[in-house]
């Protein structure tokens, strides 16, 4: 089965989990549970326009993007963190968030597909 992933990089996941399928499966399952919760916290911060909370939430989510090989998405979370910590215009923060939101949802779907392929 040759699956095309556009956001995640399964080889990065496998490498970070020492190619241990049980560990990979546990990690992916945990991430599929926790990441929507973390993203919901970011969403709440966007709704309330709480720049400190936006920065903290983006910072919290960012490392996991590295673990799953989603470097472009990680960079966008980093940009969001920077924008919100430097008091950029909320319009720019919101535009970055909306871009992230689309990719984040695709990433979740890719993780589900990857999980099924393990």
**Residue 44 — very low, low, confident or very high, per pLDDT cuts 50/70/90?**
very high
Contacts of 71-77 spanning 24+ positions with Cβ under 8 A: 71/9, 72/7, 72/103, 73/7, 73/100, 73/103, 73/104, 73/107, 76/100, 76/103
Q: Output the pLDDT for position 1.
A: 54
| Average pLDDT of the residues in 1-10 | 88
**Residue 3 — very low, low, confident or very high, per pLDDT cuts 50/70/90?**
confident
How far is 101 from 98, CA to CA, in rounded Å?
A: 5
Handedness of CA 102, 103, 106, 112 (dihedral sign): negative
**Residue 11 — very low, low, confident or very high, per pLDDT cuts 50/70/90?**
very high
Nearest CA among 76, 74, 43 for reference residue 57: 43
Structural domain spans, the chain: 10-34+57-117
């Amino acid at each position: 089965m040759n699956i095309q992933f556009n956001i995640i990089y399964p080889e990065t996941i496998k490498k970070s989990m020492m190619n241990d399928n049980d560990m990979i499966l546990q990690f992916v399952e945990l991430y599929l549970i926790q990441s929507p919760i973390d993203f919901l916290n970011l969403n709440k911060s966007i709704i309330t326009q709480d720049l400190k909370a936006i920065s903290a939430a983006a910072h919290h989510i960012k490392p996991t993007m590295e673990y799953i090989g989603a470097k472009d998405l990680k960079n966008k979370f980093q940009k969001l963190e920077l924008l919100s910590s430097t008091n950029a215009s909320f319009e720019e923060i919101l535009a970055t968030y909306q871009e992230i939101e689309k990719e984040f949802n695709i990433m979740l779907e890719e993780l589900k597909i990857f999980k099924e392929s393990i």
